[in-house]
Each structure stands twice: as C-alpha cells, then as structure tokens.
Chains A and B, each alone.
Chain A
Amino acid sequence: MTPKSKIHQASFRDPSGYMIHDGEVLRRVINPIYFPQYKKLKSSGFFDTLIKKGLLISHEETSVSESEIVITPEKIPFITNPYEWSFEQFKHAALLTLQIQKYALSKGFILKDASAYNVTFHKGKPIFIDTLSFDFYEENTPWRAYKQFITHFFGPLILAKYHGTDIFKMLQTHIDGIPVKLIASLLPKKTKFSSTLFTNIHLLAKMESKHSEDYKAETKKAKLSKKAQNNILESLFGYIKDLKVQEATEWGNYYAKTNYDALAFEGKKQLIREWVIDSKAKTLIDVGGNDGTFARTVIDQLDHVMVTDIDSNAVDDNYYQSQQHKEHNMLPFVCDVLQPAPGIGFNNTERSSLIQRLVEYRPDVTMALALIHHVTLSGNVPFEKSAEFFAQFSDRLIIEFPKRTDSWVTSLLVRKREFINHFDFYNQENFEDGYQQYFQIEKKQPIDGTERVLYLMKRK
C-alpha cells in the first residue's frame, strides 16, 4: 500500500484511483474497482488513438498486480489552472473536452466527469490529463457530466463574453465550477432569447432548483438517445467555437506605445539573449512578459519558457503566436503579480498556489522587464518585498529598472498627486539596496537610447 503522505493533494475525489509522488516522479495508481474500464480502454485502442492524436497525456504501465495497477504519465513541466487561462485557452480546453466526449461516445465510453482541471496546457496545446475520467456508456443514458461541463466550461465562457475574462477568477472561489443559478442570474435578459443559452443555462437553472431535493437519487430515470446526446455536444461545440470576448485591453498594442525607438528595442533584445545564453539556462519565466516578444528572442535556447501577463488579451496574442509557429516549449498564462493565484480547495492544497508551483518549477532565469515600476509605484510594494518575491523561486534574475526620468515612471508618479513625495525612495540606489538583500548584482548595463538600466542578478 502507498503511504498516505505520498498521495497527491488533489487526488481524493475519484475512487477509481489516485496520484502518488514516487520521489520526483508522479504516478497514477488504479484501484481494482476501475480495472474493467482500464483494461477495455487499453485493449480497444481507445487510449492509443487519443494519445497519438495528442489529446490525452501519454502514459506507461509501470506495474500490474491484483490489488493495483500503476501507470506513469508523461511529465508536464508546469500545471496551469483554469483561472490562469486566457479566453482562447479556456475555449480550446472546452472544445477539447467536447471532442473527447463525442469520440468516447462513439466507442462505447463516456467522460464521467467534465472538470476543467482535467485539462492543462502542454507543448503549446490543451491536453486531457485525467486518464481515469472514462467510464462505460450505458445505452440511452444522459451525460452525467453535463452539468459539470456547464459550470466548469460553458458558463464561465459565456460570463466572460459579457463581463470580461476577470470572471474566470471566480473559479478560485468555486472549485467545482460556478453554480448554474449564479451563472443565470449574472447573464443579461436577452440571453433568454438564444435557444442555446436558454436551454443550456436558464432552463437548466430552473430545472435544477425544481429538482434540488432528489433524495431518492432518481437520476437514473432520465433517458436520452445517443443521437440526441451527440446533438447537444455538436451544438455546444459550434457555439463555443464562435464565441468572442469584447474586452478593452490593458496593454494591447504595448510595443507600439513604447517610449523608446527601434534601435533601443533591438539593443535590449540582444543584451537579454547574450545574458541568457551565458547563463546556460534551460528554463525561463518572463513575469509581465506581455505577448512573449522578449522571451521569443531566446526561445530557441531553452527547453521550456513561460510568459505571464496580467492582461488576458496579451496572453491570447502569445498563445495565438505559439500555435502559429508550432512552438512546443512556450507556455503563456495569466497572472497578476500583485495577487498571484492562491492555494484553493480542501485544506487549501487541492490546487497549489502559483508561488508553490514556481518554487517546484525552479526556473533557471526569471525575467522582469518593465515591471518593477508598476509593482513599486502602482502596487506600493517596497523594493525589498518584491526582491523577496523573486528570490523565492529564481536563481538568476534579469530585471529592468526604469529611472525616474523614464516617461512611464514620470506619469505613474504624477498620478500620486499630493503624495508624490512619499515616493522619493524610487531611485536606482534604493532599488539596488533593496535587491541586494537577496541578490548579488552580476551585471548592470544602461540600455542605450532609454532611461532604463538592465540588471543581471544571482540569488545569494
């Protein structure tokens, strides 16, 4: 038996099996209750097809005994959670889930749950990671994970369409998806005139409250033909595929608005490339990296690159580019440095916090370009505090310091109005003092044609 301490913190809901930490390796233990399903999924070639198509994470069978089967899935460098996805990423994860359910149905299986945590991003694409989410299809039964699909995927997407992608953050407080009733109440009245939205959300909400006291578990009584279920899947797929978000962007055309010229831009790129190559880094995270422009200058040197931004549109741009260029080592996701994703769920450990995941990931290099003035002046975070943040997970830090004379800094300072004197500390000397509490400055280079200085630091 597996010692309880080794069981993965997120792995307790499904009785079919659980994940364990075997040293550095994550393995999946399958309980005898799930043997029939597992064996059939394997022997029928169902797993093989989905794995070959890159839709399901691949795995190897590690051991087989009467009491347990152990499989070892391919390692995923970094898990992003639904509240860290951009709109397109969320959309693609939803579409993947429908694709898999429709395929499963055609082969006599179903997805027994449709949790958004069954999907993450790997090698530039969404991928299904819960190998034990399948069960046998029973003729003429409705999809038991239908409601979960609505609360985890469809509802949040529709809400984002009307209220912006910030709505995805609601999933931090609702680990099992946004309740249908809440989704319905947050949607504009006109959505009742769409047959898809009326049936899938408003009618569902009504039926749910009508039948909320189902003490006898009468769910088995409902019937639905396979053809009818396929219609639901196809119509949801078509609807989601066409969804667009109307949202003004925070940075948008950021690089069109930069306060320095093309020559300085190129100079900065070259400097970054030089330093990253010198450091022999294999993994990198660019915090506040917009659409990945600077990370892309070194992407060919690295095994894995992550680029985060507060602006979901910038992450979308980056995701789009990575798909266009078929970059397998780029992982964009949404992150607000001033409020990184917390640990959520039971015990606060089911989904770990961003910091914890970053500490485990340990990037060789962390980049923070044109970020410190926002953190310090908009977020009022003292230098030694932001230094402490970076020092938790980075060995090397490439950080750009815009001086007070930089036009962006000036404009942030002006907005402080009568409190402007409270920010006199914002200067290069204090920045260096603050950061030297945790880091050692290895290199320091003013960027020609700008009011900015680039630093390379090593953690003490």
Chain B
Amino acid sequence: MSNFSVIFLYFDPGLGAMIVQGLVAAAAGILLFSKNVMYKVKSFFGIAKKEEDTYDSIDIEEDEIHENDSKK
C-alpha cells in the first residue's frame, strides 16, 4: 500500500506537534487505564452511572454492514 501513498504537505503539521504525540499518548494511556480500573471497581460495587449522550461512543458500529457483507 505504501507504494500508492502520497503524503500531501499542503499544510505544515508542525514538527513539535508530531513529536509531542508520543508524550500525549503516554499520558492518555495512563488516564484511560486508570479510568477503566475505576469503572470496574465502581461496577463491582454497583455505583457506576450510565451516561446519556447522543455521542456515547467513539466507535462506529458496523453490525449492519457485516450482515450485508455476509448476504453477498
């Protein structure tokens, strides 16, 4: 695939911004991990609250699409 790859440098992504992402990701990883642990602890005691939002998940569900694929 990398043969096709064309990286468009029509704007400067910023070297600092590219380097910093490693640190951002590390902090995010720790945070997500601890949140996950907290959630599990809370669910264990039955005090985890269910959130309501029109955007509840970052993940796009693909269920219907899989069904369509299997029909083909």
Contact = CB atoms under 8 A, between A and B. Distances in A.
A148 B7 contact: no
A113 B64 contact: no
A34 B6 CA distance: 8
Interface in B1-60: 1-2, 4-32, 35, 53-55, 58-60
Interface string A193-204: 001101110011
Nearest to B64: A52
Q: Select the residue from B6, B21, B62 with max chain A CB neighbours within 10 A.
A: B21
B17 A208 contact: yes
Interface in A20-48: 33-34, 36-37, 40, 45, 48
B54 A235 contact: no
Contacts of B6: 33-34, 36-37, 135-136
A30 to B, nearest CB: 13
Given A52-B65, A237-B58, A241-B53, A222 B22 contact: yes
Contacts of A208: 14, 16-17
Contact of B13 (A144, A198, A224): A144
B13 A145 contact: yes
Given A14-B10, A15-B8, A15-B10, A214 B25 contact: no
Interface in A166-180: 176, 180
Contacts, number: 159
A15 B29 CA distance: 35
B24 to A, nearest CB: 4
Q: Select the residue from B2, B5, B15 with max chain A CB neighbours within 10 A.
A: B15
Nearest to B22: A224
Contact of B15 (A52, A222, A228): A222
Interface of A: 13-16, 33-34, 36-37, 40, 45, 48-50, 52-53, 55, 92, 95-96, 98-99, 102-103, 108, 112-113, 135-136, 138, 142-148, 150, 176, 180, 195-196, 198-200, 203-204, 206-212, 214, 217-219, 222-224, 228-229, 231-238, 241, 323
19 contacts: A36-B4, A99-B59, A103-B59, A135-B5, A142-B18, A144-B7, A146-B18, A199-B23, A203-B24, A204-B16, A208-B16, A209-B16, A219-B15, A222-B21, A228-B22, A232-B21, A232-B28, A235-B32, A237-B58
